[in-house]
Chains A and B, each alone.
Chain A
Amino acid sequence: MFKKDRIYEDLSLILLRVRIAFIVVGIFFSLLLMYYWKVQVLNHQKYWRMSEANRLRERALPAPRGVITDRSGRIILADNAAGFKVSIIRENIKNYARTCRDVARLLGISEDDLRARIDKYTDTAAFEPIVVKDGLTTEEVARIEARRSDFPELEMGIEPRRSYPFGSSTAHVLGYLQEISPDEIRSGSGRDRRMGDMIGRTGIERQYEETLRGEEGRLLEVVDSLGRIRGEVAREEPKRGGSVRLTLDFDLQKKAEEVLEGKEGAVVVLDPKNGDVLALASYPNFDPVRFINRFTPEEWTSLVGDPNFPLENRAIRGLYSPGSIFKIVMALAGLDSGTVNPETSYFCGGAQEIYGAVRSCWFKPGHGSMNLTNAIKNSCNIYFYNLGQRMGIVPIASYSRMLGLGRKTGIDIPGEKEGLVPDPDWKKKATGAVWYRGETISIAIGQGPLLVTPLQIAGMTACVANRGIPVFPRLAAGEGVPGTLGERIPLKTEAFESVIRGMWMSVNAGGTGRGAQVEGFDVCGKTGSTQWISLERAEKLARQGREVRKTHSWFSGFAPMSDPKIVVTVLVEFGGSGGATAAPLAGRIFDLYRKKNDR
């Protein structure tokens, strides 16, 4: 039965080999134990710090921006509302292609847009959330929340979001916010800014960015590797930005926008006593909220490609020939320099040959013999051709500059244009050619290369209304804002009085400005109709099959005559004659002001 040789065969050799192998295993165990000791005990601090950094993420809590109000402080023009946004965190993306496809479908945006958006930020840190959509509706929020676990790369956020209760009203004053660009973050121009932050791009939002933005808070939270929040360690609440009270009178502002509706143009209303901007409107305008919701590329293209330039603030950036408005400057220059006196007369026969060219008056039958006040009242070209001829370009340019043309008014929103007061030096530099005498004749009635903004004209009008005291227009109200009135300019007081009388007659004695007349309010003003249009712009409009109207329509004036309280400047592009179009619009604003202050 027992097969001894099989049971007791000699196994000593292979058993020795088993022992050798076991010793090797034992050596491995000892070495591993030593290595674990090194990692866990000797290098503990290093890995402890790494694990702490792993689980704590600092996040910024955006501060609500300060509100912007009208001059009463009661009407809030820019406020904050709760906004939902969804961001993507690149480091949590498992499969880029799938993420792009599925997220685009979930959010209802195009995959290309999404990719373009993510690719814009490829060289910023991978854990930084990239906002892919905001201004979410409640349904969108619910849909995303329901699928949170499928999209660990998405992060929902709620944060205060700028809102503009009156929509596009005052848009050109307030400006708009836009997301900070990666370039700005890199260049460091945005001090402690991060991706997704909105910053003021234009208008008050930009000018007073530092006041309005507030201080962002900080949140230290525990997250897991999927970025899910597991708890909060510390929180520092954000501080709301400081509010800005504007000088705008909301009733006048609304009226200014109302009179411009359907037109292209600008209205500026100033208080000549202190430079307060009571209204500043530019039309067409835009809805600043749409900048916050992020445009689709099509929306953006259509907005910037709009031939009517809704983003352009025409009141401070529109450059126009002043036309007959400039006759105010001419008259003051003529009187102050002694070239003419109030009773100097010229004969208007409807046309006159000057330097070999026939120059006509806008009134073909001719005004007959006119003194200065009547020339202003009737806006007679012939009178001012002769005045210009006698004065020469250099004094004209010098008086223009004294009255604030050719330089920025210094209003507290960015982007203001300087305009242009031409003279022989300028022409030499710009074109290399010499000044022709005939050009002076064009300048004398506000044509030629002379360019002004509506705000400059309002400022000039205020200076006239103040009998020589210039104003520096301002939009932010507040105590102790210095220097809103300048040093009196050294012009003869009688010169102002004569010109003002002419302006009064223009409105109240059947002159070109009669459309602006307001019963019992002594409005003084001057119309202007410019024959100048940029070639480029005319072509653009013509290409679109639009009628090319030739003249811009101006009115600028103040009231009342003896103690001016309000300056109104109206410009309507291609509005026809100043008397027919702009003056009645200004009249409606004067009328409202009078009613409002006539309790």
Chain B
Amino acid sequence: MIDRRVFRDIDWVLIGLALLNAAIGVIFIYSSSHFLPGNHHVRQSLWVLFSLAVLFVVLAVDYKVLTTYSPYFYLASLVVLVGMLLFARLVAHTKSWITLPFFQIQPSEVAKLAVILLLARIFSEYKKSTLSSNVAVQASLLVFTPVLLVAAQPDLGTAMTFFPILLAAFFLAGLKRRTVALLVVASLVVGFVGWNFGLRDYQKRRLTTLINPGQDPRGAGYHILQSKIAIGSGGLVGKGFGKGSQSQLRFLPARHTDFIFSVIGEEAGFAGVFFVLLSFFLMLARMFASASKSRDRAGVYIVFMASVLIAYQFLVNVMMIIGLFPVTGIPLPLLSYGGSSLLSNFIAIGLVVNVRMRRFANV
């Protein structure tokens, strides 16, 4: 059953770095929301503890077992996502949330992990050096199904985070030039059709204001502009903890969630930005490096997809808040307020640790 030896190889460094980032998050959640009702920093701390506990539960089960059962996880999450569309109440204009006593959870966050495990299962048996169109189509269909369900909620930001998982898998399987060309054409077609038929006006405005945030400072460009002002006005060392006028005076939108990094930029300045980027980069380096400690192909896929998922969200958020990417509502992994995102990222890290600690294990 559980081999005692594997626990000697738990990657405490990675878990420590994840906790460090989560702790920075709690600190700035406090700074940006202590004047609001809701005790967000306390709730976030509880979520960190809960997510850590879940992480250890994930460690207890061999990832091979998880990949074996992944079709069931996958089907279960599809059922939940369909149920959401049918039965969920609208919260903040979307059906992304299941409201439970005391908290809400966002099943789409957890669905990503099922997709990672399912793709790992498929690609673990795929040993050619380049991707075949058969597998590509099969994998694409499996990913597009939950993407459409999440996009229909509508939660475009979260839906977009499924694609880096798929692309990561394709990249590992080996992309031919023809495939790359096909992907480019496909994304252009999707983009064109989406722009003309799929996107809502507010989503289009977010894209156009990316190009010119000043065109409507009180409208769609407002968030980007206020966030840039916050970051820029922070300077080299920041305005001091709890002293950022942009965040304390509430000019920043979604201060403790999607725009937490703007608060860090304003109150801790470039120094704080540098520190968070560094600690996050070290954590990602540790995660990517775990791939080479994997005992098999499935392990490499799990580690890689989980790492890319977190790296993608982090980079998109950090680009978004400074106006280099459209405002899509992607939280900063581990730092932003929000239990579901925190839980899903801790589980993803748990999967990486799981793979690494079982490099010598028997099957």
Contact = CB atoms under 8 A, between A and B. Distances in A.
20 contacts: A9-B127, A9-B297, A11-B296, A14-B172, A14-B297, A15-B292, A18-B303, A21-B168, A21-B288, A25-B315, A28-B315, A33-B274, A36-B265, A36-B273, A40-B236, A40-B265, A41-B270, A46-B232, A223-B249, A225-B250
A-B pairs, 4 with minimum CB distance: A47-B232, A51-B233, A224-B249, A22-B288
A47 B231 contact: yes
Nearest to B299: A11
A37 B270 contact: yes
A6 B324 contact: no
Contact of A32 (B218, B318, B363): B318
A7 B250 CA distance: 55
A1 B265 CA distance: 55
A6 B297 CA distance: 9
A212 interface: no
A541 to B, nearest CB: 55
A393 to B, nearest CB: 70
Nearest to A2: B362
B335 interface: no
A48 B245 CA distance: 10
B235 interface: yes
Contact of B233 (A14, A19, A44): A44
B294 interface: yes
Interface in B239-298: 245-246, 248-251, 265, 269-270, 273-274, 277, 281, 284-285, 288, 291-292, 294-297
Interface string B37-63: 000000000000000000000000000
A7 B249 contact: no
A47 B228 contact: yes
Interface in B311-353: 311, 315, 318-319, 322, 324
Given A13-B129, A36-B270, A48-B232, 14 more contacts: A1-B362, A7-B363, A9-B127, A18-B172, A18-B288, A18-B304, A21-B288, A21-B308, A36-B265, A48-B233, A52-B233, A52-B245, A54-B226, A226-B250
B277 A32 contact: yes
A433 interface: no
B300 interface: yes
Interface string A23-66: 00110110011011101110110111011101100000000000
A91 B322 contact: no
B322 A17 contact: no
Interface of A: 1-3, 6-7, 9, 11, 13-15, 17-19, 21-22, 25-26, 28-29, 32-33, 35-37, 39-41, 43-44, 46-48, 50-52, 54-55, 91, 126, 222-226, 230
Contacts of B251: 51, 54-55, 224-225
B81 interface: no
A28 B325 CA distance: 13
A39 B296 contact: no
Nearest to A1: B362
B218 A7 contact: no
B363 A6 contact: yes
B144 interface: no
B174 interface: yes
A25 B231 CA distance: 22
A41 to B, nearest CB: 6
Given A40-B265, A48-B233, A6 B277 contact: no
A499 B273 CA distance: 99
A220 B270 CA distance: 30
Contacts of B311: 25
Given A15-B300, A25-B288, A54-B229, A44 B236 contact: yes
B103 interface: no
A3 B218 CA distance: 64
B230 interface: yes
Contacts of A7: 295-296, 363
Given A7-B295, A28-B315, A35-B324, A54 B232 contact: no
B7 interface: no
Contacts of A35: 322, 324
A44 B232 contact: yes
Contact of A21 (B235, B250, B297, B304): B304
B279 to A, nearest CB: 11
Interface centre among B234, B284, B292 (most CB of A within 10 A): B234
B254 to A, nearest CB: 12
Contacts of A46: 232
B270 to A, nearest CB: 4
Given A28-B315, A41-B235, A43-B232, A18 B270 contact: no
Interface string B201-220: 00000000000000000100
B171 interface: yes
B40 to A, nearest CB: 18
Contacts of B229: 47, 50-51, 54
Contacts of A126: 218
A17 B232 contact: no
A226 B253 CA distance: 11
A226 B35 CA distance: 14
A25 B284 CA distance: 9
A163 B33 CA distance: 46
Given A17-B171, A32-B277, A40 B232 contact: yes
A32 B232 contact: no
A13 to B, nearest CB: 6
Given A3-B363, A32-B318, A54-B229, A15 B296 contact: no
Contacts of B273: 33, 36, 40
A43 B270 CA distance: 12
Contacts of A1: 362
A461 to B, nearest CB: 65
Contacts of B300: 11, 14-15, 18
A52 B235 CA distance: 13
A50 B224 CA distance: 13
Nearest to A223: B249
Given A32-B318, A40-B269, A224-B250, A18 B291 contact: yes
Given A11-B294, A26-B281, A32 B269 contact: no
B236 A41 contact: yes
Contacts of B277: 29, 32-33, 36
B319 A32 contact: yes
B260 to A, nearest CB: 15
Contacts of A3: 363
Contacts of B297: 9, 11, 14
A48 B236 CA distance: 12
A269 B66 CA distance: 105
Contacts of A230: 249
B233 A13 contact: no
B350 to A, nearest CB: 19
Nearest to A46: B232
Interface centre among A13, A32, A226 (most CB of B within 10 A): A32
Interface in B99-158: 127, 129
A35 B319 CA distance: 10
B314 to A, nearest CB: 9
A46 B233 CA distance: 8
Contacts of A15: 291-292, 300
A43 B231 CA distance: 10
Contacts of A13: 129, 174
B267 to A, nearest CB: 12
Contacts of A2: 362
Contacts of B362: 1-2
Contacts of B234: 40
Contacts of B291: 15, 18
Given A126-B218, A225-B249, A230-B249, A36 B296 contact: no
Given A6-B296, A35-B322, A54-B246, A40 B304 contact: no
A92 to B, nearest CB: 9
Nearest to A3: B363
A14 B175 CA distance: 11
A585 B229 CA distance: 74
